[in-house]
Amino acid sequence: MKYVEGFVVAVPAANKEAYIKHATEAAPLFKEFGVTRMVECWGDDVPDGKVTDFRGAVKAKDDEVVVFSWFEYPSKEARDAANQKMMTDPRMQAMGESMPFDGKRMIFGGFVPVVDV
């Protein structure tokens, strides 16, 4: 069964092109580690909520845009193996040092699809 890992992060609006470049350059590496699909979405209609919302979840500042992305894997085991490789690969460590956003405010999690139409 497929497995999905989702991410939400706040990116300075001024860093949009840098973010796209960063994600585009990272894609082949993620594919090498087992990602079968990678989707990056720039916030377009992200309203403030009454109790909670995406912006609050990542403590987005006024000049930041919420980015929602996900990786698809063939299985949870493939995701776990990919994460292990990512944590030890020097290329990933180098990319982590030049992220165009504050990685400390990223939220993420793994999900088992229950409906896929």
Residue at 3 is within a domain: no
Residue 76 inside a domain? The answer is: yes
Could you tell me if residue 117 is inside a domain?
no
| Cβ contacts of 103 within 8 Å, gap of 6 or more | 9, 96
Does residue 24 lie within any of the structural domains?
A: yes
Task: Say whether pTM exceeds 0.85.
Answer: yes
Domain CATH for 29: 3.30.70.100
Residues 6+ apart with CB under 8 A from 35: 71, 72, 73, 82
Helix, strand, coil percentages for the chain (3-state, nearest 5): 40, 25, 30
Inside any domain, residue 21: yes
Specify if 65 maps to a domain.
Answer: yes
pLDDT digits (tens, 9 = 90+) for 80-95: 999 999 889 999 888 8
Residue at 49 is within a domain: yes
Contacts (Cβ under 8 Å, ≥6 apart) of 21: none
pLDDT score for 113: 96
Residue 45 lies in a domain: yes
Domain count, the chain: 1
